[in-house]
């Protein structure tokens, strides 16, 4: 019996009315103007900068996740009939959630980094063009000169992570097996587009392959997936010198990009990332938005742009291009010019 003279529904509508009233009691947003102190602005600029870096890392993570798992696939009647599939040991669960299908997992991923995988068989003309790997996931992007493309993704089944499949209208779903492992095939009818998701329950890894290629080719690729690295990784650079107190805090390795973040005390951080330009302009990758000034400096024999802020609490950024390796480097830190230069000049191949 409810001990209160109101139901949750009463509370929901009353709380929304109270919140609206609270907001209406404030002046219009444009009329609430306050000139914040320089100390506040400086602290918040630092917070924003740090969040920008976190956000970049999340975007890269999401990018990998998208590369691995996200595709827009058809939405068949099967979903309403079979909206909930559970593996025999509850290692993973497939559910329809609103307008998409979610695969969720039970249990934690192993501590060891995931191995790299690739498809040993490819349809004629399809070539691997990019590869990424992080601690618990990785992916390979394949392209055909005439526009076909395909992704292979793999990730640890890790509680708290989900794999999403976003359906469109005309999809046929089929429950099957890939090399004896439980699998779902999502095939677009009337055109070539197919995704297969399969679970290696022994290894605790979810795989998926999807692209605008025929179902038979997707299945053939899936059956050929094996451990190994399909593309050469960018060489690994490391900071041989950092101010005291910094520790490596993770990064991404890949065929076209690598990154590494080092965290110091408090808000301090050093972020290093570098891209293989591969014919693309440098501005596709790096654009500095907020800085007091820019000066030309030298990192080794290479010209570099140092974007600096006179406020000691804001980040400085150093960008340079090594034309011998076709790699552009980007170093960001809340450190002064001399320290930035020392970090950059201390970078070396591992």
- Residues 13-52: x where in contact with another protein by CB under 8 A, - otherwise, as a string: xxxxxxxxxxxxxxx-x--xxx-xx-xx--xx--xx--xx
Among 98, 124, 146, 191, binds another protein (CB under 8 A): 191
- Residues 238-267: x where in contact with another protein by CB under 8 A, - otherwise, as a string: ------------------------------
Nearer CB in complex with another protein: 118/193: 193
Return the DSSP state at 187. Answer: E
| Minimum distance of another protein from residue 112's CB (angstroms) | 27
Nearer CB in complex with another protein: 48/97: 48
Among 151, 259, 315, 316, binds another protein (CB under 8 A): 151
What is the SS3 assignment for 341? helix
112 lines the binding site for another protein (CB under 8 A):
no
| Cα(151)–Cα(209) distance, integer angstroms | 5
CB pairs under 8 A, 24+ apart, for 286-294? 286/319, 286/328, 286/330, 288/317, 288/319, 290/45, 290/314, 291/316, 291/317
Among 95, 214, 268, 286, binds another protein (CB under 8 A): 286
What is the SS3 assignment for 288? coil
Give the interface segment with another protein, choosing from 62-70, 111-119, 175-183, 243-251 (CB under 8 A). 62-70
| Cα(315)–Cα(309) distance, integer angstroms | 7
Residues that bind another protein (CB under 8 A): 4-6, 8, 10-27, 29, 32-34, 36-37, 39-40, 43-44, 47-48, 51-52, 55, 59, 63, 66-67, 70-73, 149, 151, 168-169, 188, 191, 193, 212, 285-287, 289
């Amino acid at each position: 019996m409810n001990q209160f003279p109101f139901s949750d529904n009463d509370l929901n509508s009353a709380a929304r009315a109270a919140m609206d009233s609270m907001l209406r009691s404030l002046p219009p947003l444009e009329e609430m103007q306050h000139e914040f102190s320089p100390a506040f602005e400086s602290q918040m600029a630092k917070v924003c900068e740090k969040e920008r870096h976190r956000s970049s890392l999340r975007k890269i993570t999401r990018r990998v996740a998208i590369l691995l798992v996200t595709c827009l696939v058809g939405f068949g009647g099967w979903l309403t009939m079979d909206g909930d599939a559970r593996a025999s040991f509850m290692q993973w669960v497939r559910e329809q959630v609103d307008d998409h299908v979610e695969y969720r997992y039970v249990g934690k991923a192993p501590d060891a980094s995931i191995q790299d995988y690739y498809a040993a068989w490819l349809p004629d003309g399809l070539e691997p063009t990019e590869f990424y790997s992080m601690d618990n996931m990785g992916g390979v992007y394949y392209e055909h000169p005439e526009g076909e493309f395909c992704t292979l993704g793999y990730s640890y089944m890790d509680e708290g992570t989900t794999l999403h499949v976003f359906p469109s209208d005309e999809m046929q779903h089929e429950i099957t097996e890939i090399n004896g492992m439980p699998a779902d095939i999502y095939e677009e009818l009337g055109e070539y587009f197919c995704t297969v998701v399969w679970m290696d329950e022994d290894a605790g890894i979810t795989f998926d392959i999807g692209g605008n290629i025929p179902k038979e080719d997707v299945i053939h690729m899936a059956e050929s997936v094996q451990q190994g690295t399909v593309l050469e990784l960018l060489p690994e650079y490391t900071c041989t010198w950092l101010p005291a107190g910094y520790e490596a805090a993770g990064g991404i390795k890949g065929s076209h990009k690598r990154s590494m973040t080092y965290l110091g005390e408090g808000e301090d951080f050093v972020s290093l990332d570098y891209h293989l330009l591969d014919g693309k302009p440098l501005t596709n990758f790096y654009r500095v938005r907020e800085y007091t000034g820019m000066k030309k400096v030298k990192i080794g024999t290479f010209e570099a742009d140092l974007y600096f802020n006179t406020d000691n609490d804001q980040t400085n950024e150093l960008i340079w291009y090594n034309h011998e390796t076709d790699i552009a480097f980007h170093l960001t830190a809340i450190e002064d010019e001399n320290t930035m230069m020392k970090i950059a000049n201390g970078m070396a191949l591992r």
